[in-house]
Amino acid sequence: MSTTQEKPMTLKSLSHKKDLLTGGHRMCSGCGAPIVLRQVLLAVENPVVLTNATGCLEVSTCLFPFTAWRVPWMHSAFENSAATASGIETMYRALRKKGKIKKEMNFIAIGGDGGTYDIGFQSLSGAMERGHKMLYICYDNGAYMNTGIQRSSATPFGADTTTCPAGDVVPGKPQRRKDLTRIMAAHNVAYAAQASPHNWKDLITKVKKALAADGPSYMGIIAPCNRGWRCQTNDAIQLSKLAVDACFWPLYEVEGGKWTINYDPKDKKRPIKDWLKPQGRFKHLFAPGNEWMLEKFQQGVDADWESLKKLQEAFGR
Amino acid sequence: MPTATKTVAVTGNQAVAEALRQINPDVVPAYPITPSTDIVQRFSEFVNNGEVDTEMILVESEHSAMSAAIGASAAGGRVATATSSQGMALMWEMLFIASGYRLPIFMALVNRALSAPLNIHGDHSDGMGMRDSGWIQLWSENAQEAYDNMVMAPRIAEHMDVRLPIIVCLDGFIISHSIESMKYLPDEEVKKFVGEFAQLNPLLDTDNPKSIGALVLPDYYMEHKRAQHEAMLKVKKVVQDVSAEFAKLSGRKYEIFETYRLEDAEVVLVSLNSAAGTIKDEIDRYRDKGIKAGLLKPRLFRPFPYEEVGAALKNAKAVCVMDRADSFGGYGPMFMEIASALYPHKGPVLFNKIYGLGGRDLMPLDVDQVIDETVEVAKTGKVKMVKEYITVRN
Tell me the per-residue pLDDT of B182-212, one tens digit each, with 9 for 90 and over.
999 999 999 999 999 999 999 999 999 999 9
DSSP character string of B121-177 = S--SHHHHHTTTSS-EEEE-SSHHHHHHHHHHHHHHHHSTTT---EEEEEETTTTTS
Interface of A with B in 123-152 (CB under 8 A): 123, 125-127, 129-130
Helical H segments across B195-305, by residue range: 221-233, 235-250, 275-288
Average pLDDT over residues B320-325: 98
For the cut 70, the answer to whether the pLDDT of residue A2 exceeds it is no
For the cut 50, the answer to whether the pLDDT of residue A146 exceeds it is yes
Considering only CB atoms, A123 lies closest to which of B64, B203, B205, namely B64
Contact B220 A101 (CB under 8 A): no
Q: Which helix (H) or strand (E) holds B257?
A: strand B257-260
Residues of A in contact with B215 (CB under 8 A): 58-59, 62-64
Alpha-carbon distance of A202 to A35, in angstroms, equals: 14
Can you give the pLDDT at residue B4? Answer: 60
Interface of A with B in 28-57 (CB under 8 A): 47-49, 51-52
Interface of A with B in 56-95 (CB under 8 A): 58-59, 62-65, 67, 69-77, 79-80, 83-88, 90-95
Which class is B6-250 in CATH? Answer: alpha beta
Which has more pLDDT, A2 or A204?
A: A204
Contact B217 A63 (CB under 8 A): yes
Can you give the pLDDT at residue A1? Answer: 46
Please give, rounded to a whole number of angstroms, the shortest distance from the CA of B96 to a CA of chain A: 10
For the cut 80, the answer to whether the pLDDT of residue A243 exceeds it is yes
For the cut 90, the answer to whether the pLDDT of residue B5 exceeds it is no
Contact A92 B69 (CB under 8 A): no
Homologous superfamily of domain range A19-315: Thiamin diphosphate (ThDP)-binding fold, Pyr/PP domains (3.40.50.970)
Q: Is B223 on the interface with A (CB under 8 A)?
A: no
Considering only CB atoms, B220 lies closest to which of A51, A64, A67, namely A64
For the cut 80, the answer to whether the pLDDT of residue A291 exceeds it is yes
Q: Is B132 on the interface with A (CB under 8 A)?
A: no
Nearest residue in A to B61, CA atom: A123
Can you give the pLDDT at residue B6? Answer: 81
Contact A79 B204 (CB under 8 A): no
Q: Is B263 on the interface with A (CB under 8 A)?
A: no
Q: What is the 3-state secondary structure (H, E, C) of A116-183?
A: HHHCCHHHHHHHHHHCCCCEEEEEECCCECCCCCECCCCCCCCCCCCCCCECCCCECCCCCCCCHHHH
On the 0-12 / 13-18 / 19+ scale of CB atoms within 10 A, A160 is buried
Judged by average pLDDT, the poorest of A1-15, A36-50, A81-95, B123-137 is: A1-15
Q: Which of B99, B45, B37 is nearest to B62 (CA)?
A: B37
Average pLDDT over residues B99-124: 98
Answer yes or no: are the C-beta atoms of B294 and B261 closer than 8 Å: yes
Q: Is B215 on the interface with A (CB under 8 A)?
A: yes
Under DSSP, the state recorded for A66 is -
Max Cα-Cα span within chain B: 71
Count the alpha carbons within 13 Å of A71 in the hemisphere toward its beta carbon: 23
Q: Which of B83, B107, B86, B111 is nearest to B274 (CA)?
A: B111
Entry field: residues in chain A:
317
Alpha-carbon distance of B341 to B348, in angstroms, equals: 12
Can you give the pLDDT at residue A169? Answer: 96
Residues of A in contact with B73 (CB under 8 A): 87, 91
Contact A80 B214 (CB under 8 A): no
Dihedral sign from CA coordinates of A254, A258, A262, A267? positive
Considering only CB atoms, A77 lies closest to which of B29, B61, B67, namely B67
Interface of B with A in 27-56 (CB under 8 A): 27, 29, 53-55
> For residue range B142-151, what is the model confidence (pLDDT) as tens digits?
999 999 999 9
Residues of B in contact with A84 (CB under 8 A): 67-68, 70-71
- Substitution target from B64, B93, B216 for chain A, most A beta carbons within 10 A: B64
Q: Are strands B6-11 and B179-184 parallel, antiparallel or unpaired?
A: antiparallel
- Substitution target from A44, A76, A93, A187 for chain B, most B beta carbons within 10 A: A76
Listed in order, strand segments (DSSP E) in chain A are: 48-52, 73-74, 106-112, 135-140, 191-195, 217-222, 252-255, 258-261
B376 contacts: CB under 8 Å, gap ≥ 6: none
Can you give the pLDDT at residue A4? Answer: 52
- SS3 state of residue B242: helix
> For residue range A248-264, what is the model confidence (pLDDT) as tens digits?
999 999 999 999 999 99
Which class is B257-389 in CATH? Answer: alpha beta
Entry field: residues in chain B:
394
On the 0-12 / 13-18 / 19+ scale of CB atoms within 10 A, B330 is exposed
Residues of A in contact with B79 (CB under 8 A): 87, 91
pLDDT band at B1 (very low <50, low <70, confident <90, very high): very low
Can you give the pLDDT at residue B193? Answer: 98
- SS3 state of residue B178: coil
Residues of B in contact with A125 (CB under 8 A): 60
For the cut 90, the answer to whether the pLDDT of residue A317 exceeds it is no
* A&B contacts, CB < 8 Å: 163
Q: Is B90 on the interface with A (CB under 8 A)?
A: no
Considering only CB atoms, B216 lies closest to which of A64, A76, A101, namely A64
Please give, rounded to a whole number of angstroms, the shortest distance from the CA of B205 to a CA of chain A: 8
Average pLDDT over residues B329-348: 97
Average pLDDT over residues B82-89: 98
Nearest residue in A to B30, CA atom: A87
Q: CATH 3.40.50.970 in chain B, residues?
A: 6-250
Answer yes or no: are the C-beta atoms of B161 and B172 closer than 8 Å: no
Can you give the pLDDT at residue B2? Answer: 54
One-letter amino acid for residue B70 of the chain: I
Average pLDDT over residues B106-113: 98
> For residue range B20-66, what is the model confidence (pLDDT) as tens digits?
999 999 999 999 999 999 999 999 999 999 999 999 999 999 999 99
Contact B70 A85 (CB under 8 A): no
Can you give the pLDDT at residue B363? Answer: 98
One-letter amino acid for residue B363 of the chain: M
Q: CATH 3.40.50.920 in chain B, residues?
A: 257-389
Q: Which of B85, B239, B69, B78 is nearest to B148 (CA)?
A: B239
> For residue range B253-308, what is the model confidence (pLDDT) as tens digits?
999 999 999 999 999 999 999 999 999 999 999 999 999 999 999 999 999 999 99
Percent residues over pLDDT 70 in chain B: 99
Q: Is A19 on the interface with B (CB under 8 A)?
A: no
Answer yes or no: are the C-beta atoms of B113 and B357 closer than 8 Å: yes
Answer yes or no: are the C-beta atoms of B44 and A61 closer than 8 Å: no
